[in-house]
Amino acid sequence: MSESNVSRALFDEVMVPTYAPAKMIPVKGAGSRVWDQEGREYIDFAGGIAVNCLGHCHPAMVDAVKAQADKLWHLSNVFTNEPALRLAKQLTEATFADKVFFANSGAEANEAALKLVRRYAVENFGEEKDQIISFKQGFHGRTFFTVTVGGQTTYSDGFGPKPGAIEHSPYNDLAALEALFSDRTCAVMMEPLQGEGGIISADPEFAKGVRALCDKFNALLVFDEVQTGVGRTGELYAYMGLGVTPDVLTTAKALGGGFPIAAMLTTDKLAPSLKVGTHGSTYGGNPMACAVGEAVLSLVNTPEVLAGVKQREQWFRDALNQINEKHQVFAEIRGQGLLVGAALNEKYAGRARDFLMAAVEEGTMMLVAGPNVLRFTPSLIIPEADVKEGLARFERAVAKIVTA
């Protein structure tokens, strides 16, 4: 099929209707700019949902792919490979973790984490210690286990009986969480900053309280850092800024900068519970993906890039506050680093997608986090000129909504 025959209409013809993509089709990206089939330019504030941490086609990533492509593409885990071992060493040296399990997506990393905590509890405390507590409005992926642990029934209802022994507590409410705890509790899974749930930061004292409850009841603490990890908040991982160390951490999205890869990180104490044959992944630890991950982590985990994230956060906050002073559309600007949320006020409640589509029409790509929050997750190294231009286009979109 020729390129001229590939249109948005073809999506409706051949794709399962799980998504409702925009009318335009991007075909090329460079840095924080993207071009569609008609050659129209867009500033990318979406970053593939917090994935393209170094923008599009970063030279270091392109070089890593090209170099590895001439060496080794795939083996499966019947054998190990050098890029996987090097990346695992990078991750353990940079974090609390001693051991790594590689997967392909955040959901798969979370699935591995959930199976690990259940298996560890069974082996060390017995079958009755099976309760997993997570948080309302949380999001942990789309497998049936992870979507059930996630606290949004919109995503988990309608597929038949759900996995059991899963409870949900209000986020940032330590008393409510404590009321659910018992000796039956095997783990708590939480995002240190809820992404899909509306860009809600964990209160540091709440996070410390969760850690203390886990310790009191011999439960494990799992941090889902699929979206917050790899520099997104201005720390390599968000737990580092909270002062709370989990027992298990999951990472994906930005780890490959756009190449599918994920990892579950844990300790020497827990890792033996996933002994040979208890879990696996055909593509997990793929040498191509791990070679890209090496390049990404080496660039992101530097003082210059991480400090630059905080600086860019301020650019966004200042500009969004200025837009709000003029147009009065936001109740608050929230988030951390380059995971920024602009919560709509009551007048525009439920209209986040309207703002998103208007922004696309003006040449800015962005996201929503539910019906009431606009989400900005651009490249961690986006130039100031692109921030200014993208937000100028976004302001024109806001003005269209306000004056419509």
Rounded CA-CA distance 139/272 in Å is: 27
Q: Is 182 annotated as a binding residue?
A: no
Rounded CA-CA distance 199/101 in Å is: 27
Other beta carbons within 10 angstroms of residue 303's beta carbon come to 7
Q: Is 227 annotated as a binding residue?
A: yes
Please state whether 16 falls in left (phi above 0), alpha (psi between -120 and 50) or beta: beta
Q: Is 107 annotated as a binding residue?
A: yes
Q: Is 312 annotated as a binding residue?
A: no
Element (H, E) at 185: strand 185-190
Cα separations (Å) of 75 from 66, 72, 78, 84, 362?
A: 18, 8, 7, 11, 45
Q: Please, is 39 exposed, middle or buried when counting C-beta atoms within 10 Å of its C-beta (0-12, 13-18, 19+)?
A: exposed
Report angle CA 184, 262, 247 to the nearest 5 degrees: 35
Q: Is 244 annotated as a binding residue?
A: no
Provide the CA 344 distance to its chain's centre, in angstroms.
Answer: 22
**Pairing, β 220-224 against β 185-190:** parallel
> Do residues 92 and 268 lie in contact, with contact meaning Cβ atoms separated by under 8 Å?
no
Q: Is 346 annotated as a binding residue?
A: no
Q: Is 98 annotated as a binding residue?
A: no
Rounded CA-CA distance 267/274 in Å is: 12
> Do residues 260 and 251 lie in contact, with contact meaning Cβ atoms separated by under 8 Å?
no
Q: Is 63 annotated as a binding residue?
A: no
Torsion angle, alpha carbons of 110, 112, 115, 119, to 10: -130
Q: Is 139 annotated as a binding residue?
A: yes
Element (H, E) at 263: strand 262-266
Q: Is 131 annotated as a binding residue?
A: no
List residues forming the annotated binding site for N(2)-acetyl-L-ornithine: 142, 281
Task: Name the binding residues.
Answer: 106-107, 139, 142, 224-227, 281-282
Pick out the residues of the known binding site for pyridoxal 5'-phosphate.
Answer: 106-107, 139, 224-227, 282
